[in-house]
Amino acid sequence: MSTKKDRAHFSLWCMLAAPLIAGNDVRKMSGTSKDILTNKEVIAVDQDEARIEGFLYKTIDSIEVYVKPLSENNWSICFLNRSVETKNINFNWQDEVISDTIFNRSLDAKKVNYQLRNLWKNVNVGNTKDPFKKQIDSHNVVMLKLSEK
């Protein structure tokens, strides 16, 4: 698979709280594969102490939006571009109230301002007061952690 597909695949494993088992020869893997499989911030989503599985929240023009409640009222959001074309996401946090009815968790950016962190780039990228706008390449992801300020 391409690096983008590998990153997308690993992101979904982590969003779904799947067991993380490398199926490749770790002695011979590329530096890129090693970077993907050892990203501590992405792994932390998979192994979050809340132990809650993420779910598909909605699809917007071939971009699937997965959400995962985390401990300490934090969240992870993964935007997956299923299209063969680059797509733009313009996700307005103020217009969305995301609910996990199984675990009675709710993400309402009108009530709580979250800081956004891009987990693959390991950088903060704003907060939920402003819409999240990003171009996402074909078969790639943007994976965010939302932390209360």
Which token pair is 114? 């979250």
Q: In the prediction, which pLDDT does 23 show? A: 82
Q: In the prediction, which pLDDT does 61 show? A: 92
- Residue ranges per domain, the chain? 3-148
Which residue numbers in the chain have pLDDT < 70?
A: 149
Domain 3-148 CATH superfamily? Golgi alpha-mannosidase II (2.60.40.1180)
Which token pair is 11? 């992101």
Q: In the prediction, which pLDDT does 27 show? A: 87
Residue type, 43: I
Give the pTM. 0.95
Q: In the prediction, which pLDDT does 1 show? A: 79
Q: In the prediction, which pLDDT does 71 show? A: 96
